[in-house]
Amino acid sequence: MFEQHLAVLPVLLPLIAAPLVVLINKPRAAWLLSTLFVGACVYISFGLVSATMDGGALRYALGGWEPPWGIEMRVDSANAFVLLTVSVIATLVLLFAKESIASEVAHKQLPLFYSAYLLCLAGLSGILITGDAFNLFVFLEISSLATYTLVSLAADRRCLTAAFRYLVMGTIGATFILIGVGMLYMKTGTLNMLDLAERIQAVESHRTINTGLAFIMVGVSIKLALFPLHMWLPAAYSFAPSAVTAFLAGTATKVAIYVMLRFVFTIFGAGYVFEQMNMEIIVLVLALAGIFQCSFVATTQSNIKTLLAYSSVAQVGYIILGVSLVSLTGLTASLLHIFNHALMKAALFMAVGAVFYRMGSVQIIAFQGLGRRMPWTMSAFTIAGLSIIGVPLTVGFISKWYLVTAALEQGNWLVAFLVLVASLFAVVYIGKVIEAAYFKEPSEDADATKIKEVPVSMLIPMWLLVLANIYFGIDTSLTVSAATAGAEALLNGSSLVGGVQ
Amino acid sequence: MTVLIDLILLAMLVITAFRIIYIKDLFSVVMLFGIYSFLCAALFVTLDAVDVAFTEASVGAGISTVLMLSTIAITGRKEKLSLHSHTFATLIVLLTGGALIYGTFDMPLFGLADNPVHEHVAPRYIETSPTEIGLPNMVTSVLASYRGFDTFGETVVVFAAAIGVFSLLGVRGKPTELLAQEQGLTQHKVLRVVAKISIPLIILFALYVQFHGDFGPGGGFQAGVIAAAAFILYALTFSLRKAVGVVSPRFVKYLAPVGVLLYASVGLVSMLNGANFLDYNVLAADPVDGQHYGIIIIELGVGITVFSVMLGIFYAFAGQVEKANVQ
């Protein structure tokens, strides 16, 4: 019975847990229940990854109605891989959140916080595994609403403005996606993704479909924070509670990138989007512009959360860059970096969260001299930071390696060169923090004797991520094969549409 | 004839939209929003989408208006003059509008029988839903059964909104002193009498919409909103204190997740019976009966959640108005 429902459980479990948590209304029990359910999602995601590794897909007809009349969940190696990333990060952040969130969110609100967290996860999982374009929008709404709530729960009141801006931008993005899906429906009479892919061919060059593509691309670009539509992200990441930032940085933009991949490769088809509409030029230029502009802005920040937020926008640029190359290696690099970047950014934001837990500040001045007082936290920050830079033996290196290879494959020396140059910015902004932590004396007003390492329950998830950064930087067989399988699934999707298979 | 009606309605819609942009008095803006929603609802009726019209009228014109009014009770009635230049924003809006118009050029003509939306998925709903599901209202068959997972998702969206509002504004505990003195609109005798007569009727109508949704327009979403409207009307005319005495905010907070769980439990029972999530066929010996049971229960779940969330959000907003009055 369990096997039969494998493809729907990642979204059902958190969806059922979220209302339960509100009914229980006890912070500790709420946390425990959430962790159990989310942990179960990790187990299921592993099952899904191994079940789809051979290139097959699991389909699940909800209500027993066969698609396109009913809604189906459809898991292939592409979304299984992203789903695994999301559920692993969600679990580790929950472990971290127990202490971290308790210190940042009012005690009374904790059950509601965990409920919103579960709703957010359920929404993200739903977006990932659904095979229906409108159902995707419904889950997008769930995850977005929950995200705005999560961002707005920090003690710093500035989070309200950040959440409001995020809400306005996010709603515009979601509306654009809905308008686009509506146009597709009008021309094809279906909402099922595979069915859409098949029927869209007959009407491919129609102006309504072109407009639908434009609206969906712009809407998704807002959601994934593609330069220059990223302005909501730095504020939201800076003012959200630490654990929320760690969670969002590892999951939310990644899922939006998946949505773009799904629409481009499975529904519209790469041939239409890239050859006919020449989207790859626009996307490539925006990705590179984002990498450089946001990396540069990151070097000028003194608030470390803002610094890392700008770095995140730049990293989104790398992922999109891989997509714009439209090749197996490029897509593999993108999927790899979705996973790898989740590992490093979640670890970095956890480390910053740990500093906030002790210092009550994330300004660079608070980091001074922390190398000695919070050795575990700062060494975690350092290793994850090296990973962002792309130093060998970390996952960051693997991502960059595949990205540069993909660029060179097409003889695109300029792109390969620019990717490497952009890494120098990361050296500057990560180096700045490391310098403060290890080579500067603590600032005078900080009461030095009171500063000590954070509780073990915060260090364990942080270090699990750091170790994963190193492990998957050395043994790449698992991640690369999963990412390659995912890239193949996406490309096959479009060749299936093109009638090659 | 319908073309004429459509044209008039659309023209009024455009005029209302322009008024909303230019008027600086927020109270008038809220009223115009209500009118805008009513015009939309009327348009939906001419499109034969009565279920959608129903929802638009009750949510857009009803509850949203009340919530926006409670917001301007806190923030003030006048729009602040913006010092920013709007040129770039106007350009973006014009570009978006232009793109939308460009998109209409290859759209299938309005109302033709051989449009893709009528030819691919829809025929199956029309031809086999009477025997597969057996409901006269096909919209309910599609929403509650064929695409029941979307409806489950939408119920969760409503719940997620409540989580957001409750965590930001708080759920009111015991009534404060100020609230205890509140008398409601005692001077307005006519209002009180009209409210007294209409509230039971509204509740009765909500129940009718809830359980008659299988046969005519309606269902859990509309019923939940209408029922909540009755309680909000009670709170507005007879004081919040009395309304809170009837249905307390804490109760509402715990009721919201119950509706979602009720919906989910139908799916879980299907799973226990060996079928897929939300497959109602296995709920009874006869699949068509199973569909009926399933749809009635999930609609009830939707109604419970929508009712409690709407009322809960109103309570939360009213709590803020009260707080603002104290200060």
Domain residue ranges of chain A, discontinuous segments joined by +: 3-500
B contacts of A203 (beta carbons < 8 Å):
106
Nearest to A18 by CA among A124, A130, A151, A99: A124
Q: What integer best gives the mean pLDDT of chain B?
A: 88
Residue B156 has pLDDT above 90, yes or no: yes
Based on the number of CB atoms within 10 Å of its own CB, is B3 exposed (0-12), middle (13-18) or buried (19 or more)? exposed
The pLDDT of residue A495 is 43
Q: How far is CA B298 from CA B12, B217, B251, in A?
A: 38, 16, 21
B residues 125-144 closer than 8 Å to A (CB): 125
Search chain B and give the residue with CA nearest A68.
B121
CB distance B164–A65 less than 8 Å?
A: no
Structure tokens at A152: 């707005």
User: Is the Cβ–Cβ distance between A406 and A327 less than 8 Å?
Assistant: yes
User: Is the interface score ipTM higher than 0.85?
Assistant: yes
User: Is the Cβ–Cβ distance between A235 and A161 less than 8 Å?
Assistant: yes
B residues 172-191 closer than 8 Å to A (CB): none
Search chain B and give the residue with CA nearest A8.
B277
Percent of the residues in chain B that have a pLDDT greater than 70, as a whole number: 95
Distance from CA of B157 to the nearest CA of A (A): 5
Does A23 contact B at CB distance below 8 Å?
Answer: yes
A residues 104-143 closer than 8 Å to B (CB): 108-109, 112-113, 115-116, 119, 122-123, 126, 134-135, 138-139, 141-142
The pLDDT of residue A501 is 27
A44-58 burial, b at 16+ Cβ within 10 Å, e below that, comes to bbebbbebbeeeebb
Structure tokens at A448: 């030095």
The pLDDT of residue B182 is 63
What is the end-to-end Cα distance of chain B in Å, rounded? 56
Q: What angle do CA A263, A268, A269 make, to 5 degrees?
A: 105
CB distance A149–B168 less than 8 Å?
A: yes
Smallest Cβ–Cβ distance between A211 and the set B103, B119, B154 belongs to B103
Does A500 contact B at CB distance below 8 Å?
Answer: no
Does A17 contact B at CB distance below 8 Å?
Answer: no
A residues 177-206 closer than 8 Å to B (CB): 179, 183, 185-191, 199, 203, 206
pLDDT tens-place string over residues A68-93: 899 999 998 889 999 999 999 999 99
Based on the number of CB atoms within 10 Å of its own CB, is A174 exposed (0-12), middle (13-18) or buried (19 or more)? buried
User: Is the Cβ–Cβ distance between A357 and A335 less than 8 Å?
Assistant: no
B contacts of A161 (beta carbons < 8 Å):
none
Structure tokens at B205: 């109508």
Three-class DSSP category at A60: strand
CB distance A149–B167 less than 8 Å?
A: yes
Three-class DSSP category at A153: coil
pLDDT tens-place string over residues B216-270: 888 889 999 999 999 999 988 888 888 888 898 889 999 999 999 999 999 999 9
Residue A74's beta-bridge partner residues? A59
Residue B184 has pLDDT above 70, yes or no: no
The pLDDT of residue A380 is 93
Q: Which residue has the higher pLDDT, A94 or B117?
A: A94
Taking residues B36-51, report their average pLDDT: 91
Predicted model pTM? 0.93
Q: How far is CA B90 from the centre of its chain?
A: 31
Strands of A387-430 (E only): list them. none
Smallest Cβ–Cβ distance between A19 and the set B159, B278, B281 belongs to B159
Search chain B and give the residue with CA nearest A191.
B121
| Residue among B169, B276, B283 with most chain A CBs within 10 A, to mutate | B276
B contacts of A62 (beta carbons < 8 Å):
148-149, 276-278
The pLDDT of residue A498 is 35
Search chain B and give the residue with CA nearest A149.
B164
Does A207 contact B at CB distance below 8 Å?
Answer: yes
Lowest mean pLDDT among A31-45, B88-102, B161-175: B161-175
Interface A-B, measured as beta-carbon pairs within 8 A, has a size of: 178
Name residues whose C-beta falls within 8 Å of residue B209's C-beta, 6 or more positions apart in sequence. B54, B218, B219, B222, B223, B226
Ordered by where they begin, the domains of chain B are 1-107 (1.20.120.1200), 137-327 (no CATH)
* pLDDT beneath 50: ranges in chain A: 494-501
CB distance A187–B106 less than 8 Å?
A: yes
Q: For residue B23, is it left (φ>0), alpha (ψ between -120 and 50) or beta? A: beta
Q: What angle do CA A80, A85, A89 make, to 5 degrees?
A: 145
Q: How far is CA B42 from CA A127, B33, B36, B209, in A?
A: 33, 14, 10, 19
Distance, CA of A239 to CA of A249 (rounded, Å): 13
